A and B are shown apart, each in its own frame.
Chain A
């Protein structure tokens, strides 16, 4: 049951094949078994069971709220959850229990979803697995063989999402299949009066149509994305995907996004600047960590922030402060804004020339083993991994990573589709067609774990590496 898609589970709940409480308990059990992965910061067991019980009551009466009723969901720990600790994986917010729900969380709960807990992330979402600011919905999805969808900026409310870069952050959706992502989007999208950057339209649930004929479609392949660092395997999957579209009648053309190479640097200037600003509120006064020093307010600020933030965060704050200094502002911040405009215009031009959807890799290669991963410092790491996903955030466009195949090592690889702004539905329609063609095998975690001869060995490895 736990390996099924959202729609399948929803159907099963409706038909009574499984109850919400049973489902919830299975999920909790698996979470406990996989605890060594450290995927969850907080497991909200009591809350989840309570929600599951209420869902069950509704199903018994035949009054289910919709497709999400009783469905277990997990929320990244940078979304504010009322009464449940929200830490952003940072010491600074250890013990912080918010008094309100993020809008997206509220919308999920209003549909009867069951909140299993808060998932882990790099401190304040500042790692290579960034936040949905640089690609961290799509990158992990590609590495794990699931669907990772980033909606258009302004489509989904950011109220309650603890911000990294306000002008680029978007809540991202991770699901097993494209249809499920569409289901969740239907619940989350639409105007939120609490977020002034959302569109005015109220939004409503929708069903993705099943595309059969792609002959009217024009797929663009950005030539600047063919970089030397791209692994030959991913490159070949990309090529095969393009051929697939072509063979089914779609028009596939090479396009140019000339300012692509400036994207990462531009992102770093804008990101660190906004980070420096957004982190200014963490002073230990109103909430979160506060040091023991009480000699003076300034001393308290300094110690609190040194204790509360890790190196990466502090590094970014310092960098951001540098760019925001009066004498640097024009040369760095304003310039980066201008470059951002150029990058966004690249996409506009391409879409205006008749291209419907862009097809690119999501990552340079399959997931890299942990020990190799930690060899590079954070900034280099981000620079490398976000190369295909970053520009999309600068331009505010919708994008989705769809698993395409397993690598020679047996690890998942995904490809990315990028759509026009606010054409999320069309984008997902194309992605759904591709998904159907590709028939990527669903990961059966249960089997995987049963197969594992020594679970303890995995546990030991994981705990050793995490200590570093």
Chain B
């Protein structure tokens, strides 16, 4: 019944999400929290109805999806884009509002230098061309959380254009193979955030909080080079990491510091692109992928059932144009060559200086990890994917003689596993890097077995304050060092269980495990199972 729906450019993990039954009609109401509205595509709107020609069996036509993104990242700065009021998350309502933010008559915008620098840094990190001259405009619409009746943005000439963002998807068997994909960046512009409205249904009123009004945003526009939710989510994730590495935005989706709008259309490969719809205000990475795929599927279903994709223009998208912002002169940036002589460094921004001071980007960090520690590419992704995990890993490495591959395995599988189970962040872990390092050292010196190490880890997690060594000695988990004694035990066990030995001789693979288990029981789990197995096999063969 299931038929793979999406082919073409979507690879790797996308398969898992793409296997949806095309026969049934999906309901529309399931997903909550986003609004889907159509918008006419610009140069590539396909007006012809895609299905009237050949109405073949459903699922037979291949579909390709095209996804573009508009990402709004709140700039990490002390004050807002055009006024001096502070930027804080979760402050009391309307406590961070200057006269300008409240649009009191006669107030004027004054550009925040830090925000401009953040935009330049981000543009450079994303391989953009930085426009040495950019302009500010007013975008008009009426909404309660927009006090001035317009938003100051950069429509005509934004600060950065024509960049690219590389991200990697894991493909192939067990997703071992890593493919790098690129999405073009159309532009990056500076603009104001709006306030927040809270709808009070009970009293039929809307409450407005202007704390967020005027906070600086970077709008990053990604061209429709992505083909499914997974790609989009991965690109967003990579952008998040870049912004966090640069320090230009904390990019925390849950706190609203990173918001994504997706533009989605579907078409048959080889034909013109379809009508675009927009899915707005996605504020969780996980939800993003699902919502996009859901919309893709919805469009496919609609089209396969002979319907057209509807255009619903946003209610306040009436055709009032932009107007230049008359209170802000053009923003002029310089490089070392064009810097005017005797210019006050406080008054000018030098693009070259900013480029020199760019911190290490995630892609560089991953590359270094692979080179330095010989870990696998997909592990380098995993290490960067969790906040604080890389630092944790590096701290463990510093204090242990164990091989990096071992450390990686422990950090990514066992440690991360424990965190995820208990829904904890790295910085909430009861096990510190030093403690884990000590445990790994014990393992490395073969003081304990792998199984024992896991037991110790569990205990460490539960009871703070105990060192691994303490737990090992308390629970008598030290490996038996006396090989001869172990051989005697093995021999004894084999003598005591001739039937099992017979099974073993007959080639029953489970028989040896039983013997191992028995030996372990006798030795109170203080023997390394791999060594036990070796001894048993040796004794059997002799």
Which chain A residues have a beta carbon within 8 Å of chain B's beta carbons? Answer: 79-80, 86, 88, 93, 96, 98-100, 102, 158-163, 165-167, 193-197, 273-274, 277, 279-281, 283, 285-287, 294, 297-298, 301, 321, 324-329, 333
Contacts and interface: CB of A to CB of B under 8 A. Distances in A.
Contacts, number: 103
Q: Which of B107, B108, B327, B328 has the most CB of A within 10 A?
A: B108
Contact of A274 (B104, B105, B321, B326): B326
7 contacts: A80-B104, A99-B99, A158-B108, A162-B106, A166-B326, A196-B327, A326-B320
B208 A285 contact: yes
Contacts of A325: 319-321
B373 interface: no
A281 B147 contact: yes
A197 B140 contact: no
Nearest to B208: A285
A329 B320 CA distance: 9
B106 A163 contact: yes
Contacts of A162: 105-106
A159 B150 contact: no
Contacts of B326: 165-167, 197, 274
Contact of B111 (A160, A196, A273, A294): A196
A297 B106 contact: no
B106 to A, nearest CB: 4
B489 interface: no
B150 A277 contact: yes
A306 B329 CA distance: 33
Nearest to B319: A326
A301 B206 CA distance: 14
A64 B320 CA distance: 54
B303 interface: no
Interface string B116-156: 00000000000000000000001010101001111000000
Contacts of A333: 321, 323
Given A167-B326, A274-B323, A80 B148 contact: no
Given A99-B104, A197-B329, 20 more contacts: A80-B105, A88-B105, A93-B105, A158-B108, A160-B106, A160-B107, A166-B326, A167-B326, A193-B110, A195-B327, A196-B329, A277-B150, A280-B142, A280-B148, A281-B147, A283-B149, A285-B147, A287-B104, A301-B142, A333-B323
A281 B103 contact: yes
B113 to A, nearest CB: 12
Contacts of B107: 100, 159-160
Secondary structure at the A interface, as helix, strand, loop or mixed, is loop
Contacts of A102: 106
Contacts of A193: 110
A324 B105 contact: no
B106 A80 contact: yes
Contacts of A287: 102, 104
B333 to A, nearest CB: 16
B109 interface: yes
Nearest to B102: A286
Interface string B42-62: 000000000000000000000
A327 B108 contact: no
B327 A166 contact: yes
A196 B109 contact: yes
Nearest to B98: A100
Contacts of A321: 320
Contact of A79 (B104, B106, B110, B206): B106
B147 A197 contact: no
A136 B44 CA distance: 52
A100 B104 contact: yes
A26 B259 CA distance: 63
A415 B469 CA distance: 98
A281 B323 contact: no
B322 to A, nearest CB: 8
Given A281-B148, A297-B144, A324-B140, A98 B319 contact: no
Contacts of A327: 319
Contacts of B204: 294
Contacts of B111: 196
Nearest to B84: A194
A96 B105 CA distance: 10
Contacts of A298: 142
Nearest to B148: A281
A98 B147 contact: no
B394 to A, nearest CB: 44
A31 B208 CA distance: 43
B139 to A, nearest CB: 10
A280 B320 CA distance: 12
Nearest to A166: B326
A243 B147 CA distance: 55
A277 B138 CA distance: 8
Contacts of A96: 105
Contacts of A98: 104-106
B328 A196 contact: yes
B210 to A, nearest CB: 8
A196 B108 contact: yes
Nearest to A88: B105
A203 B92 CA distance: 41
Nearest to B82: A196
A167 B320 CA distance: 20
Given A102-B106, A161-B106, A321-B320, A280 B144 contact: no
Contacts of A161: 106
B123 to A, nearest CB: 22
Nearest to A192: B108
- Across the A-B interface, the 7 shortest Cβ-Cβ residue pairs: A280-B149, A166-B326, A162-B105, A167-B326, A281-B103, A80-B106, A329-B321
Contacts of B323: 273-274, 277, 324, 333
A333 B323 CA distance: 9
A88 B105 CA distance: 10
Contacts of A86: 105
A88 B104 CA distance: 13
A42 to B, nearest CB: 16
Interface string B188-232: 000000000000000011101000000000000000000000000
A333 B111 CA distance: 25
Contacts of A93: 105
A159 B107 CA distance: 6
